Amino acid sequence: MNSRRKVLPDDGVTLNLDSLVDIVSNSVGILIILAVFMALLSLMEYNPQTTPETRVVEQTEKILIPWAHYSQKAALLFLVRENRVLRLDRGGYYRKIKKQLQGASPEIPKRINFESHSVEIEMLGGNSHCLFFEPRPGAGLWWHQLSGVKGPLESLLSSLQPEENYFFFWVDSDSFELFRDLREVLWKRDFEVGWKPVETATPLRYCSGYSQSRSFRPQ
């Protein structure tokens, strides 16, 4: 095989073009490898720390728009409407269902009524189901009834762990200011907060049981 050569007549130097191409190719390859290595190293070193204080002021989509991703934490559900806060206790619903199934005629009722709201269930097959909450007019607590050192909110927060629980709110357009105040309290206690804007006619729908997990899908 004949090597490609170019003769430079002015000084008599002969340059092997194949060797030059090999040298350039090897150099470019080494530079690419170094660039990839440095990029990976910078990603490994980037480990931002999040605290309750930084999360409050951090301008990210997660805290500026409704939260809509899956969570393995247990959800506590609330409705904020007419400047009242109403807890939609699905735990109470499940306890009533369990009691019903232990009776002489075990059957899941279509609707269960509570003092402040009613709950309907829709079975989706397997372990999956959806709950539909229907609040009663005027149900819920005013902020002065909810807050305070010995108020129901403080009692609830003292019994929960941020690593295991998060709060989810359906927020009516007439009560955003109240929701923001409540969210600040929860953030200071290091709880995650999800929410969805709703109107009076919006169904309050909670679905669980997907892949036999405790994942929550805001609807």
Collapsing DSSP states into helix, strand and coil, what is residue 182?
helix
Same domain, 102 and 190: yes
The encoded tokens of residue 115 equal 């003092």
Same domain, 98 and 145: yes
- Asked if residue 103 is part of any domain, the answer here is yes
Number of domains the chain is built from: 2
Span of 23-37, 56-70, 169-183 with lowest mean pLDDT: 56-70
Same domain, 113 and 177: yes
Which residues span the domain enclosing 23?
A: 5-45
Same domain, 134 and 186: yes
pLDDT tens digits for 145-178? 998 888 999 999 999 999 999 999 999 999 999 9
Same domain, 180 and 129: yes
Same domain, 91 and 162: yes
Same domain, 24 and 125: no
Phi first, then psi, for residue 196 (nearest 5°) are: -145, 130
Q: Pick from 201, 219, 197: which is nearest to 210 by CA?
A: 219
Top-confidence residue, 130 or 8: 130
Strand order in the sheet with 117-125: 111-113, 117-125, 128-135, 204-208, 217-218
Percent of the chain with pLDDT over 90: 38
Quick check: pTM over 0.85?
Answer: no
- Asked if residue 52 is part of any domain, the answer here is no
How do beta strands 74-81 and 165-172 pair?
parallel
* Cα–Cα distance, 187 to 184 (Å, whole number): 5
Write the burial class of residue 48 (CB in 10 Å: 0-12 exposed, 13-18 middle, 19+ buried).
Answer: exposed
